[in-house]
Each structure stands twice: as structure tokens, then as C-alpha cells.
Chain A
Amino acid sequence: MTGKPYRLPQDSGTGHTSVGRLIDHGKPLSFTYDGKQMSGFAGDTLASAVMANGRRVLGRSFKYHRPRGLITMGSEEPNALVGVGEGSRLEPNLRATQVELYDGLCAVSQNRWPSLDFDVGIINNHMSRLFPSGFYYKTFMWPKVFWHKVYEPIIRNAAGLGVAPKGIDPDSYEQMHVHCDVLVVGGGVAGLAAARAAMATGKRVMICDETPRLGGTADISSELIDGKSQLDWVREQASALAAADNVQVMTRSTVVGHYHHNYLMVFERLTDHDPELAANGAPRHRLWKVRAGKVIVASGASERTMTFANNDRPGVMLSSAARTLVERYGVAPGLMGLIFTNNDDAYHTALNLKSAGVGVGRIVDVRENPQSDVISAAQSAGIEVMFGHAIAGVETSSGGKQIDAVKVAPYVTGRGRVVDERTIPADFVAVSGGWNPVAHLWCHNGGKLRWDDDLSCFRPLSHNDEIAIVGAANGTMDLAGCLTEGYAAGEKAAGKATGKAAVKKSKATAVKQAPTQPMWFAPATGSYNEGNKHFIDQQNDVTAADLELAQREGYVSVEHTKRYTTLGMATDQGKNSNLPGLGVIAEATGRSIPEVGTTTFRPPYTPISFGAIAGTQRGELFHVVRRTAVYDWHIARTKVMEPVGDWRRPYCYPKAGESQQDAINREILNVRNNVGVLDASTLGKIEIKGPDAGAFLDLIYTNIFSSLKTGKCRYGLMMNEMGFLMDDGVTAKLADDHYLMHTTSGGAERIAAWLEEWLQTEWFDLKVYVTPVTEQWSQFAIAGPNARKVLEKLGGDIDLSGDALAFMEMANGTMGGFPVRLFRISFSGELSFEIATPANFGQDLWDKIFEAGDEFGIAPYGTEALHVLRAEKGFIVVGDETDGTVTPHDVGMSWAVSKKKPDYIGKRSLEQAFLTEPGRKQLVGLSTTDPNEVLPDGAQAVETVHAGKQSMIGHVTSSYWSPTLKRSIAMALIKDGSNRMGEKISFPLADKVIEAEIVNPVFYDKEGARQNV
């Protein structure tokens, strides 16, 4: 076969002048398919261009590796799957019928080895009696250990479709959120009518179509609207919609999912048709998240195949696909075709093909004696029609790649064996088994369907959402009805426009059609699987015989049959195969199709890219990163940043050649011996003010705050209603009715919301306002014996003496020229100040502190040193020593739980028997027998080590090497721990057992002398 005969002239000389209407013969394009150079034209799809090059085999099937050609004209294509692009831009499993051709396109076929023409896997086809449905379940059950190591890898290698791309995707993707009043799904005649009616009201209207064009199947239909061609009518609507400032028209945009409350997902492809756009930086895909007031589904209908022997051979395609190839792309599906139908629509294909110069040998019609204008027209045009006949099989050569002839036999519903068979030469078959409403979107969120006997299909029945369905998608298969329904739905959704604004409603004349006669299975000569496969699901290689076998084996539920046979479980989700499959199941079990029922329709309608799902959130933007005012200073000095909530905090600052552990040790000792500085800006800060602020804090904390004097600070514990610790921190009193609360870094937003919630929902009688000010302040801890000297050097109007600013006091003033709040508080046990200044002065204050501290041995310390310093002092960290099941009593802080206050959050829960019983896990210190042994965080403790199951009595909550004490230290929650001081317990690890003594958790400076100087 050479390529040329398949590209038809634009004017066939019969008056049919629209052949290949999308093809621009002035713009030739070249592309490669499986490495072979081919040519096409602007306007082609990859499928049409490959067909024009005389090539029909576009893929190999999933299981049997049979050669396959295209079947459909669009997104429902099961067979013509290709990989497009190279390297990191390769995208597998694209439907060649949707891929728009561009110059330089590089496509590869899939699931073949070594080549599409010669595929070793075809051996599976000849061994197919060994691969019935449920084959995997039946064969690979024994021996069990073989599954992971032997069977599964082999199966995974042999099965499957495209391969994943290698490397990082170089393109960009983004998302878009939009609200609209009316979303119209589908830009065919019904959808356009709906959009026009809705547009007239001025409401916000979106109309989306998955193809690059509006019009649906208007261009392959011959009926007129208002006496004009449908295409002319579509052109008028498109212009009106484009000019309106309340309408968003989106092509190449598939509405892939409908979710609760009319939330929809639209997958827009911006550059796949022209990769230069992506190379220049345009986003490749955009995922629209749409909230629509009303949805109008006008997604049209898709044509059904019919099931006959070897119906999967390349050259067997849908009647609509054949018509589309000719009309849109000027490509002949073959030289001599045979049309096989059970309805009138295929007659249009026959007429269309014939007038375009494509050979049409015969129309084979299942129906006995149908009457309509289009049938008469076909007969008048000299096309021979065989009524009451069906295809019994196709004969092929070249390993199934070439159709030579079609076997036709008389057909009577219900009769099995073929007796009187004729062979008719043909090289392609155009099939029409009727039309199915595309009701997927309708069903995604619970739309109901009903069976329609006349159309032999399921059609929409009811829905609980604000959603309507119109036109062919609603089972309205005539043009006049599509228009009427479209306009009505648009008006109903948006409200009726009045006066000049109202849309002029176009009309079409109803055309009488002969009824469709369902046919789910055409019998063949011989028996199943003797080279006579009747394919139902071509993408997953499921045959009628597989479905019948599943019924015999008892898979009564259609959902079970689906999973057992994999019917409809491939990337096309059974768009073509669902109904034919149900038909076969129904006939095999003597039930009706509605009795069999349908499987579930799930989003997405067609596959969408991972890039679109990720959108902008990749690489540096993968997740929010919060930066303090000193962030740049930190990252210039350390690469070791620790995530704390969304913040990134320096973990430690290793010098050149220094290990992280050495850096941590150095930072700790510098705090103990000289002075260290920590960026503590991430701590939560909340201003609380009002006449009832003190009373409010008494309710929030376990201890008393109303008695606090202005200028003083107090450490507080916060419980939730269950009596469990949820946060802690120091709160300072700024004025009589005014407090500043500090929370943990991770708790800042949560606690602010917690306070606001109690004020708004429970204690709305309290006069208190709460304003989070975390981000207003940079706050630095200056800790160590030299801390006061550094501040004195910095200078200012605050008296820093121990008498004027005692431990747990605060002052406002100016230090080093900066407006500051100065707190004398300590989380390290050393003499320590926290100095806060407005964040935009933070970097400068930080620098000035280092200048001032230079002579006193100042050095920064990171979060790990902070943790070790506090652990040496036995200070807890909420989230380390607590896990949401730990009370203040458990961590030995009963002193912070007020016995005087009448009420506070968690008080009653804390009195429950379970929380007061002795023997609960309690916080203790651990001293390992070998001082050099550092317990792993989370290590489980046991009473005694023995073989078999051992009883756990607790776990390590914090564990460090203490450079101050030159030994390991740890804290743990241990059953009845506070009564077990001095006892030894064991921690069995994977490779050894570590023994430790239970000790007081305060390891260093038990009297607290160091912070009180």
C-alpha cells in the first residue's frame, strides 16, 4: 500500500466540496511515527495523518498483542494509543485521534516488541486458550512465594500500555479557580443553544469543549438549521459568545469530573498542539476548579460498535469515525468499504463516503425492513443494501493487519449458528450499533439513568444537583430536539432574558428516522476462540467468550464481572465497551440489560496529567516556606535547616570541616560558658486585652494569671477539654488589662484560633480582644553568663541590673537605638534575655547584637542546641514529652495546676479516675549505665529482657548527648516512673540492649542558680 491513494482530493467532482475541510494543503507537516518519517498537513490529527500514509495498525493490544487500528473519532478511542514526545517530555497513552499534528511531532506506538509490524507477544494470541478471564487468579495461586519474585515481574513486563517518561518534566503547569452561574459542558449544537440562552441574561457563563473546535458533530451532519448549514449556524453562535463579556469559551478543555455542590474539574490543554508555546514558557496544562451555580451537560453521544468475529481487526471502525476521516481530514479509511448497521445514521456515512469518492461495496443492515428517506437516498445512489443480515466475521491477511473480505450471513434475532454465509471483498468496515448518550459526567455525582428500549441505551433520568442534561447526551437524537432542549435548559439555568436581550431561537425540521434494532452479538462460523474472537473491550482484550465464562462461573453482579474480566477497567474506562458488554451478559444470563445494571462512572472522564494536578506547587514552590527576618543570614551560614511547622529554622551552624554533632556541642558549651544567640522569632505571640483579660487567661491556663503584676512574666500550661497538654509558654503582663502570650512555634496559629473560638462561642460575655502579633516581632534569645554584658554594650534606656529587671520580668524601651520589648526569661537555664523589635529592624538588631557581643565570645546557636540546653534542665517540649495523651501531672508539673481556681479548660477531665490513677506513665530522666550510649528517640522500655513478647512500660521522649555533663541524657514516659527512681530498666534495640537508671529529669543546675544572677 502506498500513502497517496488514501488522501482524497478536496473536491471529488460530485458536488461534495467539503472533503477534508480542516486540512490546509498549503501547510505540509512532517513527523515521525516509530522513527519513520511521515507527512501530513496542518489540521490533521496524528491518527488521520498516519492513516493518510497508508498505515492502519496504530497499536498492539494489551494481552494478546493483536494489531489494532483506530475505531473512533475522539477521546473515547480504545486502541490508537501512542506515546508523544521524547525523553522527559514523552507522554504515554495519548489517543492518536485527539493528538493534533504539528511539525516535528515524534510519536511511538505502544505495547509492541520489537516493532509494531512484528510483535513477539502475538504468541499470546495463539495461546489464548490458556488465557481466559480470571487467568491470573487461577494460574498464579501456587506456590505462593512465586508471586512476588517470579509471576508478578513477568506479568508486569508483558502487560501494560505506554511507558512512563524519564527525568523531570520540563514544562510548567498551573491551576485556576473560577465561579460561574452556568457551566455548559460541550460545544455542540445543544450546548451552543444553551450557552446562547444563558448568555442573554448577563449571567456568567462558561462553555467548555474537549476538542479544539466548537460545533460537535455539526460538520458531519447534513440537516439544516434555519435553512442554513449547521456549520454556518455554529459560526454565528461562536462569534456571539466570543464577543460577550459574560461568557468564557474554552476549547481543548475537558470537563473531567463533577463533584458535590457543582464543583467541577476542567482539564485545559494549552500547548500540546504546538510545543513551541510550551518551549516559550506557556503552561502546558491548566486545571480549572470550577464552582458552577448550574451545570448543563451537553456532552453528546458516542457511537456503539457491534460485536462480531474478529471485530478488532485494523480497518473495522465506527461509521462516525469513517465519516470524520473523510469530512474533516480528507482521508479514505480504505479503498472499498462495507457498512454494517442497525440504524439510519450509517446511511449518511455511506452517502458521504460515496460522494467523496470512497468505494462503498454494500450496506449490511440487521433490520428486516426499515423505511426512511435516508435509506431510500442510499438505494437511489446505487448502494446495495442487504437487510436482515449481519457480519459473521472478517477475513484477514498479513497477520491480521489487512482485511481482505467480510463474511455476511442472514440474521434473525436470537438465532445462533450461521448457515448461509457469503464472502464480500472489502478492505474496511464501518460499523454503527446505535448511539449512547455520554452520561458519564451526569453520573459522577449520583445522576440516575433509565433504560430506553427504543434507543437501546441508558439515558439520564434524575439528579439531585442543580444540573440539567440536554441533546444527544440526554438521549435526544434529533437536531430539532437538541435545539429546543438546549435553549430551554439555558433559560431555566440563567433565568429568562427579556426584550432585546433575548436570544432568537433557531429551529430545525424534525426528520423521521427508522427505529434502531439492538444487536449485541453477531454469531460466527465455528466456535469461540478458533480465530474467531468477538471483542467487547478492545483496550483490555476482553471478549464475549470471557464475559460468558464469567457468568458460567457465577459472577452474577456486573461489578464482579467487571473486576474478574477487567471489562472497562483500562484507560478508556469502557466508553465503547460498557453497553456491548452488558448486552452479552444479559443474553448469556437471560436477563434484560436494566436487570444487569451498569457499573459505576468515576472521574476523570479522560486521563489528566500529574503536572496539572500538581499545578504551580512543584520544586521551590512545592510547599510554603516561612522565613524569619534573619533567614538570609542563616542560610548564608548553614545548610542545615529544620522544618518547624512551615518555618525553616537553623538546626546548627557547622564551621568549615566541623561535623554537625561537633557544632552542636560547641554551640551548647558557648551558651554555658560565654553567650549564645538564638533566632526565636517563630515563637507565637498574641496580645490579649480587655477588662476580663485576666479572668480569660485563668480559664485558658491551668495556673493563675489574674494575680500577675504588670511587668512580670509567668510560665503557663494549656490543656484541652480532655485534660491533656496542648501548649505552653510564658505570658507577660503589659498593663492592667493587657497581656502578651507566648506560644510554641508550631502552636501560634492554632492557639490564636483556640482563644478566638472560646471567646466567640462560649465566653462571649467576656470583654476580651485577641490579636496575634507573631509576625510583627523579631525576637532573639541572648543566653549565657555574658548575656547581660552584651546588652549593656548594646546600650539603651532599660536598667539591666538583676534588681531592676529580675528573672521573669519584662521591660519596654530602647536598646541600641531599637524600640524593644525585653524579657528576662530562660529556656536554657542560663542568665537569659529575649529581646524583641519590629521585624523590619530584626536583621539590623541581630547584626548589632553580634557586634556588641564580639568581645564576649558571642556565637549563634541552632534549634538542636536549644533542645539539648532545655533537656539538660529537664524542661519539657510540648509534642516531644507530650503526645496528646499526657496530663500536667504526668510530666511532673502538678505545681502549675491551680487548686484554687473554680474552673479552667480541662479541669473536670483532669479529675477523672483514669487520669488520677497511680501508675500512669510519668516523666522521668534516664541515665544510661554506659554514659557514652545515647538512646534512640522513641526507644521502648521493658521491665526485663527475655525471648518472645515483652511488656512495654514506656518510651524515650527526648535523648541527647550532653556536652555540659559529658554523658548522655534522656527523658522518658515510664509507667509509675515517679515511684521508681533509682531502678534500672532496659531498652531492647535491633542489635543490642541499652540499660538505664531512672533519675530526676533535671540533670543540670537543679537549684536554678545560673538563671538567677
Chain B
Amino acid sequence: MSDPVFHSGLASSKAIEGSISVSSIDDQGMIDLRGDSGDKKFIAACKKVLGISLPTTPRESTATKNITALWLSPDQWLITCPRVSSVEITQELQSALSGIHALVVDVSDARSILRLEGDGAREILMKGAPVDLTTDDYGKGYVRRLRFAEMAALVHVISDTPEIIDLFVFRSYGQYAWDWLAATSSKQSKLQIFIDQPVAAI
């Protein structure tokens, strides 16, 4: 029996090269982790497996080279890791957390990750998202669950300069999100706000 063939949710999408570039991140695994952040045993067990303390401040993330923990809510995190190790890390977490009230689920296939790269990536998200993405805490490592183009989505800022943002949407929405980004990221619609501007006509 041959190995199962992997089909990314965005495998058939045409590359976007407009005011920013958009690509599908297919080699990342995702683990949904629920537990009580006030429970020291829970935090310690997670740290032992993941090598990081789970972030407990809203909109923050913590990371090692391969593993990142994204804050989702006071008792929920999304762990990203190399896709090849998601099953193993899930099992390690489950066994480390046995006896502790927690829920660990491998959700590596539940979401599509769209990577937005280039100046104005944040503004393209702002075209579809009503939340404030210009607050002081916005920057590298920032995590925000939001409504984007009528979809439930999650934003993770990978880098400030150059601008790199990962947009997570549920897998079934991936193509719509992709098409939306293609429609709003043409070179002619490039937009960057709160920066140096040409002087307005008088």
C-alpha cells in the first residue's frame, strides 16, 4: 500500500504576486491545546514537552525554533510545529497531561495558513477586518483572532520588517480567503497608512 497522498487545501491556487505575495504554508502542523493556565502542573507539563511557557497574556505568542504557542483565549492555545512531528508532539502532550484536566487535539488539517509577505500586508488584512490592527502591541509575535472577510480567522505576525503575516482560516474557507486576497492585493490597490505620504495638493 502506497503512502497517502497529501493535498493542501490551496494546492490548485494560482500564485499571488501583487502589492504583496501570498503563499500557502503546508509544512506546518497545528495542535489545539486546552487547559487551565492557573494550574501550575498543566503549565509545567506543557513546558516540558514544548520547551516553552504558554503565553498567558492576550494576543501574545511564545516560540522556540520549531514550536510556537499562540494565545487563543485564557484556556486555549494553538501550537504550531513542523507537520511531520504533530502526531508525536500531540501524543507526548497527551501522556504528559494524563491526570491533568486538559484537551489536546491534532488539528493540523483543520486550517489553511496563508502567508502574506510585503509592505502593506497589514493594510490588506484591514480591508477585510474591522478590528484595530494599529495598536501599540501590534508587531512581531502578535496574535489576534478576528473576523476577516466574513470568516473566522487568526493572524500571527511573523516579522515586522520585512512585513510577514500568517493568516489562519479554516480549511474550507481557504480558497475564498485566497481569492479575496488576490482581489485586494493588486499593485494598483496598494495601501499603507500612517506613513510618510506625498504632500497633498493645495
Interface residues of A (CB under 8 A from B): 172, 174-180, 187, 204, 212-215, 219, 231, 234-235, 238-239, 241-243, 245-249, 251, 277, 280-283, 286, 289, 291, 616-617, 620-621, 623-629, 632, 647, 687, 689-691, 767, 769-771, 773-777, 795, 816-818, 837-845
| B interface: dominant SS | loop
Cβ contact within 8 Å between A773 and B201? no
Cβ contact within 8 Å between B198 and A242? yes
Minimum CB–CB distance for B30 against chain A, Å: 9
Cβ contact within 8 Å between B172 and A231? no
**Contact partners of B8 in chain A: CB under 8 A:** 840
Closest residue of A by beta carbon distance from B103: A769
Number of residues of chain B lying within 8 A (CB) of chain A: 63
Choose from A241, A251, A281 the contact partner of B188 (Cβ within 8 Å). Answer: A281
Within the assembled complex, what's the spacing in Å between the Cα atoms of A283 and B196?
Answer: 22
- 28 of the cross-chain contacts (CB-CB < 8 Å) are A172-B189, A174-B184, A176-B123, A179-B134, A238-B200, A249-B197, A249-B200, A251-B200, A286-B191, A616-B180, A621-B149, A625-B175, A626-B172, A626-B173, A632-B12, A769-B34, A769-B75, A769-B101, A770-B103, A771-B103, A775-B172, A776-B109, A816-B1, A837-B4, A841-B6, A841-B7, A841-B109, A844-B6
Cβ contact within 8 Å between A283 and B189? yes
Choose from B35, B75, B103 the contact partner of A687 (Cβ within 8 Å). Answer: B103
Minimum CB–CB distance for A287 against chain B, Å: 10
Minimum CB–CB distance for B131 against chain A, Å: 8
Cβ contact within 8 Å between A647 and B172? yes
Among A178, A247, A277, A770, the one with the most B-chain Cβ atoms within 10 Å of its Cβ is A178
Closest residue of B by beta carbon distance from A291: B132
Cβ contact within 8 Å between B9 and A840? yes
Among B135, B174, B197, B198, the one with the most A-chain Cβ atoms within 10 Å of its Cβ is B197
Given A213-B201, A251-B201, A776-B109, are A616 and B134 also a contact pair (CB < 8 Å)?
no
Within the assembled complex, what's the spacing in Å between the Cα atoms of A8 and B175?
Answer: 58
Cβ contact within 8 Å between A616 and B130? no
Within the assembled complex, what's the spacing in Å between the Cα atoms of A177 and B128?
Answer: 7
Cβ contact within 8 Å between A214 and B200? yes
Cβ contact within 8 Å between B12 and A176? no
**Contact partners of A627 in chain B: CB under 8 A:** 9, 172, 174-175
Cβ contact within 8 Å between A625 and B176? yes
Interface residues of B (CB under 8 A from A): 1-9, 12, 32, 34-35, 75, 101-103, 105-111, 123, 126-132, 134-135, 149-151, 170-176, 179-180, 183-184, 186-189, 191, 193-202
Cβ contact within 8 Å between B105 and A687? yes
Choose from A621, A767, A777 the contact partner of B180 (Cβ within 8 Å). Answer: A621
Cβ contact within 8 Å between A817 and B2? yes
**Contact partners of B134 in chain A: CB under 8 A:** 178-180, 204
Minimum CB–CB distance for B135 against chain A, Å: 8
Choose from A775, A777, A795, A817 the contact partner of B111 (Cβ within 8 Å). Answer: A775
Minimum CB–CB distance for A777 against chain B, Å: 8
Within the assembled complex, what's the spacing in Å between the Cα atoms of A988 and B11?
Answer: 53
Cβ contact within 8 Å between B199 and A215? no
**Contact partners of B175 in chain A: CB under 8 A:** 625, 627
Within the assembled complex, what's the spacing in Å between the Cα atoms of A286 and B198?
Answer: 19
Within the assembled complex, what's the spacing in Å between the Cα atoms of A842 and B11?
Answer: 13
Within the assembled complex, what's the spacing in Å between the Cα atoms of A758 and B145?
Answer: 22
**Contact partners of A246 in chain B: CB under 8 A:** 194
Cβ contact within 8 Å between B193 and A178? yes
Cβ contact within 8 Å between B105 and A212? no
Within the assembled complex, what's the spacing in Å between the Cα atoms of A557 and B2?
Answer: 83
Cβ contact within 8 Å between A769 and B9? no
Given A629-B9, A776-B109, are A620 and B179 also a contact pair (CB < 8 Å)?
yes
Given A247-B194, A767-B101, are A844 and B4 also a contact pair (CB < 8 Å)?
yes
Within the assembled complex, what's the spacing in Å between the Cα atoms of A839 and B107?
Answer: 10
Cβ contact within 8 Å between B173 and A234? no
Closest 7 A/B residue pairs (Cβ): A282-B188, A626-B172, A769-B103, A179-B132, A839-B109, A775-B110, A844-B5
Cβ contact within 8 Å between A775 and B109? yes
Cβ contact within 8 Å between A817 and B1? yes
**Contact partners of A845 in chain B: CB under 8 A:** 4
Cβ contact within 8 Å between B103 and A690? yes
Choose from B130, B170, B189 the contact partner of A775 (Cβ within 8 Å). Answer: B170
Minimum CB–CB distance for A877 against chain B, Å: 21
**Contact partners of A844 in chain B: CB under 8 A:** 4-7
Within the assembled complex, what's the spacing in Å between the Cα atoms of A806 and B75?
Answer: 38
Cβ contact within 8 Å between A624 and B186? no
Within the assembled complex, what's the spacing in Å between the Cα atoms of A625 and B188?
Answer: 26
> What would 9 more interface pairs be, CB under 8 Å, given A245-B196, A647-B172?
A172-B189, A175-B128, A213-B202, A231-B202, A629-B7, A775-B110, A777-B109, A816-B4, A840-B108
Within the assembled complex, what's the spacing in Å between the Cα atoms of A240 and B130?
Answer: 29
**Contact partners of A286 in chain B: CB under 8 A:** 191
**Contact partners of B106 in chain A: CB under 8 A:** 776, 838
Cβ contact within 8 Å between A277 and B188? yes
Cβ contact within 8 Å between B183 and A621? yes
**Contact partners of A241 in chain B: CB under 8 A:** 200
Within the assembled complex, what's the spacing in Å between the Cα atoms of A923 and B29?
Answer: 47
